[in-house]
Amino acid sequence: MKMTFRWYGKSDKIPLKHVAQIPGINGVVTSLIDIPVGDVWPMDELIELKENVNSYGLNLDVIESVNVHEDIKLGLESRDAYISNYKETLKNLSQIGIKTVCYNFMPIFDWTRTDLNKPLKDSSTVLSFDNEQLKNLSANDLVEKIRNDSSNVEIPGWELERLDEIEELFQQYENVDEEKLWGNLDYFLQQIIPVAASYNIKMALHPDDPPFSIFGLPRIMTNQENLQRLVDLVPSPSNGLALCSGSLGPNASNDIPSMIRHFGEQNKIHFAHIRNVKRISEKSFHETSHLSSDGSLDLYEIVKAYKDVNFQGHVRPDHGRMIWDEEGMPGYGLYDRALGITYLNGLYEAITKAKHE
Ligand SMILES: [Mn+2]
């Protein structure tokens, strides 16, 4: 597996020089976060991004994410223009050698938490989701809370301007249930997958986070059955998954090692996010360090499953705690994610060597 680190481009406080010093690092996954969702990513900015990353000895093979415009998810007539732009972006990405494009299909909200700075016993802070707390919040309250929690650092997926239109968005989604959303995903993929395939780009759909409906919005990328349905929608080597253990993990019935084997054997895991999560109750959880004993997931079994299916793709640690007084984007500090990488590398080396004894 090729170890990568998510980096937020020029606005990221973490210098590429520091990323390049993480043992075993292969490259970064990143995006042009300043380009409004739905616009074509310009060639000149892509070339500059690629050259900048490469100048630190890091590869840029994976883009996370090219976000899907809301009109596509809603199935509005205007979607065709955005799909056409998406194809153009894929073409441009292929020209700088991108092999994998991560995306998600979550209505309105990207990943959702009720607290971005929950203190743990060791006074580190983590992202957490408390379903009881959510019941007392309106969507607007949640947006306000996220804004305050993040000290107005722009968090990808929570672009503040777009969320100002939140009430209107909710009205539009009143007519979109799960099956309608499946139909809109199908319409998108029928057009995008053949184009991605022609550029040898693998599309990697990230599961919904958390893997259940919030505020009554439909969410469909939530379990093995639905991920298989996605894979079967458009049979193509370019249609697959970004399997994220932490996003699927809050649902205890998602057996992550078994899902890795199930989809890995079909060559459908195009990108892997590995992190832990601590389940508190049926729909409440908080994030943790990557260490198995800190959370509800067994990271040894997860890495072993990737090894067993001979996974050769890109992997990255996911959200980390904020530790050692680091300041920055919640979940995306350098220190705890670097510790996560070192732990994953250790597990991988041990599992690999034990196999050959
Ligand atoms: Mn993830």
Query: Which CATH number belongs to the domain containing residue 57 in this structure?
Result: 3.20.20.150
Residues 193-216 pLDDT 10s:
999 999 999 999 999 999 999 888
- Distance from the alpha carbon of residue 195 to the mean position of ligand 1, in angstroms: 25
Is residue 262 annotated as a catalytic residue, yes or no? no
Rounded to the nearest 10 degrees, how much is the dihedral formed by the CA atoms of 161, 188, 240, 301?
Answer: 40
Q: Which amino acid is at 298?
A: D
- Distance from the alpha carbon of residue 256 to the mean position of ligand 1, in angstroms: 13
C-alpha angle 35-13-277 in degrees, rounded to nearest 5: 90
- Give the pLDDT of residue 146: 80
Asked whether residue 159 carries a pLDDT value surpassing 90, the answer given is no
Is residue 86 annotated as a catalytic residue, yes or no? no
Residues 81-101 pLDDT 10s:
999 999 999 999 999 999 999
- Distance from the alpha carbon of residue 227 to the mean position of ligand 1, in angstroms: 15
Give alpha helix (H) positions in 78-177: 79-95, 131-135, 139-149, 160-163, 166-172
Give the relative orientation of helices 178-198 and 79-95 as an angle to the nearest 10 degrees. 30
Is residue 290 annotated as a catalytic residue, yes or no? no
111: confidence class by pLDDT, cuts 50, 70, 90? confident
Is residue 319 annotated as a catalytic residue, yes or no? yes
Q: How many domains does the chain fold into?
A: 1
Q: Which amino acid is at 20?
A: A
93/44 Cα distance (integer angstroms): 11
**Residue tagged active-site, from 69, 270, 273, 290:** 273
Three-state DSSP class for residue 85: helix
Asked whether residue 332 carries a pLDDT value surpassing 80, the answer given is yes
- Residue of 157, 145, 120, 153 whose CA lies nearest to 321: 120
The answer to whether the pTM exceeds 0.85 is yes
Residues 4-41 pLDDT 10s:
999 999 889 999 999 999 999 999 999 998 999 999 99
Is residue 18 annotated as a catalytic residue, yes or no? no
Domain that residue 273 falls in: 2-355
Q: Which amino acid is at 331?
A: G
3-state helix, strand, coil in the chain (%, to 5): 40, 15, 40
Three-state DSSP class for residue 277: strand
Is residue 206 annotated as a catalytic residue, yes or no? yes
Radius of gyration for the alpha carbons in the chain, expressed in angstroms and rounded: 19
Peptide bond into 289 cis (omega under 30): no
- Distance from the alpha carbon of residue 288 to the mean position of ligand 1, in angstroms: 14
- Distance from the alpha carbon of residue 272 to the mean position of ligand 1, in angstroms: 8
Q: Which amino acid is at 180?
A: K
